[in-house]
Amino acid sequence: MQHYIHLYLTIKHHFSDISFYWKDDRVMTVIKKLCAFSRIRRAGKSLPDAA
């Protein structure tokens, strides 16, 4: 029984760490910037050369 409690707490700890990072504004800002940057690059490539 003690082993299962330990396992549960370990998993819970790791998941709370992950959710903490996702809630962190700095991480989300970086991800949003990367998404916007890749979108701009993709849009730039799709424009005709004559433009």
User: For 18-42, how does the pLDDT look when each residue is reduced to its tens digit (9 = 90+)?
Assistant: 666 666 777 778 878 887 888 877 7
Q: Which amino acid is it at 38?
A: S
3-state secondary structure of 14: helix
For 1, the token pair is: 């029984």
Q: Is the pLDDT of residue 43 over 70?
A: yes
- Degrees, nearest 5: CA angle 18-11-26: 10
Claim: this prediction has a pTM higher than 0.95: no
